[in-house]
């Protein structure tokens, strides 16, 4: 039998319990311990959504779903591993396990649809460094995959199903993605263009005209430098208080799973801001381990293997 190809699914990771938060946050801050006020804020946000965030379970379900889909289409050809950036099982742990299992060809697939130096590139760099300690291993990096039809349809189908609502003149759809430090895109990162590409593709598939939607940015980090804007909370508040909107439909198309940025930043922070401005929030479901997301990941694996 020919040797299977490993699929290294790479994701952010999330603390499993409160005592993990300091180490996790220190890893995100490149080894710098967080000052107390920032640490307290983050603990407060995790406590508000309840630990662990759903992200832990969803990443594992995505791995299992992809394994089942690949087994069905190509029996015995792939083995899927989960490697995380900021908590166990780390990307290095997964690569070591792949080596222990005797597999030498690895497809690296970041669970982030758009390419940026902060997401896809960073995942690939971490995986490539881990692979250097296993001579003879070959690494095939997956490209960004925001433009896959199944993913676009996942979002647009939900908007089509609420056409009565989105067609009302006092409803606006806000597409959003994780903000990044401004210097990233000023340095030529394609992230912003890919997010714009996805929001336009979803709007077109849902037959929304330009007046019915807007793109904004969410979850900017707690750092001093400027981040990409406008922030979705301010945009939503202005739409209600200055433009007469009553309903905001939130579609966090830059993410693929329910995580802290969805369960807290959207479901609590954005919802509260909208309600106190006198409006209502409707939030689209996230892809999580849906058939659409698994089909997208399967296509990405097949394309990367064929390249
Ligand atoms: O636990 C959970 O459910 C949430 C996990 C989580 C996801 C996530 C996704 C992305 N981030 C990206 C960029 C940055 C940059 C910084 C940054 C900071 C944080 C902090 C937490 C956190 N991120 Fe995150 N992010 C998640 C969690 N992120 C916690 C620290 C507290 C805070 O600032 O809010 C700033 C630090 C730095 O300079 O590195 C930049 C990007 C994504 C989407 C792509 C991906 O998932 O990899 C980009 C999920």
- For the stretch 257-282, pLDDT in tens is 999 999 999 999 999 999 999 999 99
Measure 231 CA to ligand 1 centroid, in angstroms. 16
Q: What's the token pair of residue 13?
A: 């990771």
Atom of ligand 1 nearest to the CA of 55: 3
- Whether the CB-CB separation of 99 and 136 falls below 8 Å is answered with no
Out of 56, 221, 227, 265, give the residue to mutate to test ligand 1, the one with the largest number of ligand atoms within 8 Å of its CB.
Answer: 221
Determine the average pLDDT of the residues in 243-267: 98
Alpha carbon nearest to ligand 1 atom 38, residue: 29
Alpha carbon nearest to ligand 1 atom 49, residue: 12
d(CA 53, CA 209): 35
According to the model, what pLDDT value does residue 221 have? 87
According to the model, what pLDDT value does residue 89 have? 97
Measure 104 CA to ligand 1 centroid, in angstroms. 31
Determine the average pLDDT of the residues in 63-82: 98
Query: How high does pLDDT run on average in the chain?
Result: 97
Query: Pick from 226, 234, 219: which is nearest to 186 by CA?
Result: 226
Measure 73 CA to ligand 1 centroid, in angstroms. 34
Measure 260 CA to ligand 1 centroid, in angstroms. 9
Question: Within 13 Å of residue 101, how many CA atoms lie on the same side as its CB?
Answer: 19
Give the percent of the chain with pLDDT over 90: 95
* pLDDT class of 82 with cuts at 50, 70, 90: very high
Determine the average pLDDT of the residues in 3-15: 97
* pLDDT class of 224 with cuts at 50, 70, 90: confident
Measure 68 CA to ligand 1 centroid, in angstroms. 29
Determine the average pLDDT of the residues in 11-20: 97
Cβ burial of 31 (10 Å; 0-12, 13-18, 19+) is exposed
Q: Per the confidence metrics, is the pTM higher than 0.90?
A: yes
Binding-site positions for Fe(2+): 178, 261
- For the stretch 86-95, pLDDT in tens is 999 999 999 9
- For the stretch 174-223, pLDDT in tens is 999 999 999 998 888 999 999 999 999 999 999 999 999 999 999 998 78
According to the model, what pLDDT value does residue 307 have? 82
Residue ranges around ligand 1 (CB below 6 Å): 12, 14, 25, 28, 42, 53, 55, 112, 116, 118-119, 178, 180, 221-223, 259-261
Other C-beta atoms within 10 Å of 1: how many? Answer: 5
Q: What's the token pair of residue 184?
A: 């990233």
According to the model, what pLDDT value does residue 1 have? 63
The ipTM is 0.93
Out of 9, 10, 11, 12, give the residue to mutate to test ligand 1, the one with the largest number of ligand atoms within 8 Å of its CB.
Answer: 12
């Amino acid at each position: 039998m020919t040797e299977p190809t490993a699929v290294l699914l790479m994701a952010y990771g999330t603390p499993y319990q409160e005592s993990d938060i300091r180490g996790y946050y220190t890893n995100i801050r490149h080894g710098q311990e967080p000052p107390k006020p920032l640490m307290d804020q983050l603990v407060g946000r995790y406590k508000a959504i309840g630990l662990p965030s759903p992200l832990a379970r969803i990443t594992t379900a995505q791995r299992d779903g992809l394994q089942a889909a690949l087994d069905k289409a190509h029996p015995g050809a792939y083995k899927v591993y989960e490697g995380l950036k900021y908590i166990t099982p780390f990307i290095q742990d997964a690569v070591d396990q792949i080596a222990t299992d005797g597999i030498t060809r690895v497809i690296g697939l970041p669970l982030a649809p758009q390419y940026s130096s902060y997401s896809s590139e960073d995942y690939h760099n971490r995986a490539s460094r881990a692979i250097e300690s296993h001579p003879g291993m070959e690494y095939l990096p997956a490209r960004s995959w925001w433009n896959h039809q199944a993913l676009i349809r996942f979002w647009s189908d939900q908007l089509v199903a609420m056409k009565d609502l989105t067609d009302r003149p006092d409803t606006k759809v806000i597409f959003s993605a994780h903000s990044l430090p401004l210097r990233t895109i000023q340095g030529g990162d394609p992230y912003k263009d890919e997010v714009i590409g996805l929001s336009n593709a979803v709007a077109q598939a849902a037959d929304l005209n330009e007046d019915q939607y807007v793109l904004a940015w969410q979850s900017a980090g707690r750092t001093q430098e400027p981040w990409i804007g406008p922030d979705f909370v301010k945009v939503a508040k202005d739409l209600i208080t200055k433009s007469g909107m009553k309903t905001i439909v939130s579609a966090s198309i830059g993410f693929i799973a329910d995580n802290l940025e969805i369960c807290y930043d959207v479901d609590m922070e954005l919802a509260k801001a909208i309600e106190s401005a006198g409006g209502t929030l409707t939030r689209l479901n996230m892809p999580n381990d849906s058939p659409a997301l698994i089909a997208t990941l399967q296509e990405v694996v097949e394309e990367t293997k064929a390249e």
